Amino acid sequence: MLLKWKSLSVIHPQHCKEIFLLQGNFQKIISRFESSSPAAHTSLYNLHTAHKGKMVNFGGFQLPVQYGNDGIAASHRHTRAHCSLFDVSHMLQTEITGKDSISFFETLCTTDIEGLPEDRGALSLFTSPSGGILDDLMVSKTSQGYLYVVSNAGRRDHDKNLMLKAQEKFRSEGKDVSITFREPTERALLAIQGPEAQKALQQFVDFDLGTLYFMRTRVSKISGIEGCRVTRCGYTGEDGFEISVPANASIAIAHDLLQSPTIPVHLAGLGARDTLRLEAGLCLYGNDIDENTTPVSAGLTWTIGKRRRQTKDFPGADKILDEIKNKPQKVRVGLLSEGRGPPARHGATIVLNNTTVGTVTSGCPSPSLGSNIAMGYVNSDLSSPGTKLQVKIRDTLLNVVVSKLPFVESKYYIPKKSKK
């Protein structure tokens, strides 16, 4: 069982139903990624257990769903109001070097990496020859001469094999490329997210964070530790940073952040991370996107660079570009519940006039909105905001309305456009 429900008895009764629903939703997600093999520990494992983290095997790593008696909803709200610290060391961190590193990586993904300025990152996709999404990832073109890639833990083995096979092919053609996987025993990855994240982190870095905009990255000292990388990004819709640090310094850096004298930085687990990303309209691989969904149907066409559309040299280009021109049959939408009832879960049927028109891929009660939200795929002609539909939950039809994404406004730190 995922959690010991007796721990909920200390929570205020009015929140018990909401927390139960949130944890039930996360149980569904855990079951899709939980491994039967022994789980590895990240370098922050002792910190999690010291703070009474409720640990689960997620993507092959022991990670906290929540901490102590703090509910997922309370942790979620704290992140939106202040900031929280997440251990995301289970993600696969990769460095790619060599004079052919850019052309190498562009054979696998959709991004115009050649056109990226130095120390700039982008969301990208590994795609298949048939146009499906193999994984979503972050790729940054660093001024140190390598590509820095962060991809999903649940696709760790797949992504490693994909890159290594491509490396072997490139090298057989006499090209210069080298891949280094930075394992969690070597590099930890922490995410500090929320409106007060900059204030919390600023006191420990050696440069002005106000100069680092969304999707920018740079090397910095953190708490006096050399060789850390700070990237302004995240998975919550809030302003925030992901910091890659030496694993042996990760607990000390986390302690410094948590003991900030001015900002209430709290630890947050996988449960809050999931509800935050869903409110932000962000995809979870294996739920909202997979090998059977295309970038166009998933609403991720913007990840395909203009030059890449012209060169048509990424995997599945013909299929994907045809969908851009002619539109896909189904598209990802947001769904907002109307009235009371349980939240729609992954796999729930979306209905119009007793006819199935789509499927829910993610859903939960929204701590910020106070109502149930979901994402799913519906027929393209039913994707306009305001379209009335229903979802089938345990043989009951509940009313929903198609909603614009994100559900909660994103607050990324983006340069203001100068007035002309």
SS3 351: strand
DSSP state of 216: B
CB 199 within 8 A of CB 263: yes
Q: What is the pLDDT of residue 36?
A: 62
Distance CA 179, CA 172 (A): 15
Tokens of 81: 């109001």
**Do 220 and 259 reside in the same domain of the chain?**
yes
Distance CA 250, CA 287 (A): 30
- Taking the C-alpha atoms of residue 25 and residue 22, their distance in angstroms, rounded to an integer, is 5
CATH value at residue 163: 3.30.70.1400
- Percent of the chain whose pLDDT exceeds 70: 90
Strand order in the sheet with 187-193: 217-222, 225-231, 240-246, 187-193, 83-87, 265-267
- Mean per-residue pLDDT for 332-339? 96
Condensed to tens digits (0 to 9), the pLDDT of residues 287-323 reads 999 999 999 999 999 999 999 999 999 999 999 999 9
Q: Is the peptide bond before 406 cis (omega within 30 degrees of 0)?
A: yes
Q: Give the span between the Cα atoms of 210 and 228, in whole angstroms.
A: 18
Query: Cβ contacts of residue 306 below 8 Å, gap of 6+?
Result: 112
Query: What is the rounded CA–CA span in Å between residue 327 and residue 365?
Result: 31
Average pLDDT, the chain: 92
CA distance 70 to 53: 10
At which of 153, 182, 211 does a domain end? 182
Asked, for residue 215, whether it belongs to a domain, the answer is: yes
Say if 345 falls within a structural domain.
Answer: yes
Q: Which two tokens stand for residue 403?
A: 């909603």
Residue bearing tokens 């850019």: 102
Q: Reply yes or no on whether the pLDDT at 329 is more than 90.
A: yes
DSSP state of 38: P
Q: CA-CA distance, 191 to 358, in Å (whole number)?
A: 34
Least confident of 22-31, 223-232, 285-294: 22-31
pLDDT per residue as tens digits for the range 36-47: 668 999 999 999
Q: 27 falls in which pLDDT band (50, 70, 90)?
A: low
Given a contact cutoff of 8 angstroms between Cβ atoms, the answer to whether 203 and 259 are in contact is no
Residue 164 domain-assigned (yes or no):
yes
Query: How far does CA 104 lie from the centroid of its chain?
Result: 24
Q: Domain ends where: 182, 215, 240?
A: 182
pLDDT tens-digit map of 97-133: 999 999 999 999 999 999 999 999 999 999 999 999 9
CATH number at residue 245: 3.30.1360.120
Q: What is the pLDDT of residues 154-194, one digit of tens each?
A: 999 999 999 999 999 999 999 999 999 999 999 999 999 99
Residues ≥6 apart with Cβ < 8 Å to 393? 341, 342, 344, 345, 348
Paired residues of 143 in beta bridges: none
In terms of domains, do 81 and 146 share one? no
Examine the domain organization and report whether 76 and 191 are in the same domain: yes
Rounded CA separation 348/403 (Å): 17
Instruction: Check whether residue 198 and residue 270 sit in a common domain.
Output: yes
Are 52 and 170 in a shared domain? no
CATH number, domain with residue 397 = 2.40.30.110
Q: Are residues 342 and 402 in the same domain?
A: yes
Range of the domain at 358: 329-407
Asked if 366 and 279 count as a contact pair (C-beta separation under 8 A), the reply is yes
Asked if 84 and 275 count as a contact pair (C-beta separation under 8 A), the reply is no
Q: What is the pLDDT of residue 171?
A: 98
Does 108 map to a domain? Answer: yes
Domain total of the chain:
3
Question: Is 95 known as a binding-site position?
Answer: no
Q: Which residues pair with 390 in a beta bridge?
A: 351, 399
Provide the strand spans (E) within 88-208.
92-97, 120-127, 133-141, 147-151, 178-182, 187-193
Q: Is 322 within a domain?
A: no
Q: What are the Cα distances from residue 215, in Å, to 169, 226, 269, 284, 366?
A: 31, 22, 23, 19, 26
pLDDT value at residue 18: 45
Closest by CA position to 369, among listed 237, 231, 181, 263: 237
User: Of 257, 278, 299, which one is at a domain's C-terminal end?
Assistant: 278
The whole-number pLDDT of residue 38 equals: 83
Tokens (6 digits) for 94: 């990769």
Regarding whether 174 and 125 lie in a shared domain, the answer is yes
What is the pLDDT, as a whole number, of residue 29? Answer: 52
Same-domain check for residues 211 and 73: yes
Task: Report how far residue 100's alpha carbon sits from residue 104's, in angstroms, rounded to the nearest whole number.
Answer: 6
Phi then psi for residue 317, to 5 deg, are -55, -45
- For 130-154, what is each residue's pLDDT tens digit? 999 999 999 999 999 999 999 999 9
Asked if 384 and 365 sit in the same domain, the reply is yes
In the predicted model, is pLDDT for residue 28 greater than 80? no
Q: Is residue 384 domain-shared with residue 340, that is, in the same domain?
A: yes
Same domain, 333 and 364: yes
pLDDT at 19: 45
Residue that wins the pLDDT comparison between 38 and 236:
236
Q: How far apart are the C-alpha atoms of 127 and 5, rounded to whole Å? A: 41
What is the C-alpha to C-alpha distance for residues 284 and 320, in angstroms, rounded to an integer?
Answer: 20
Residues 219, 339 within the same domain: no
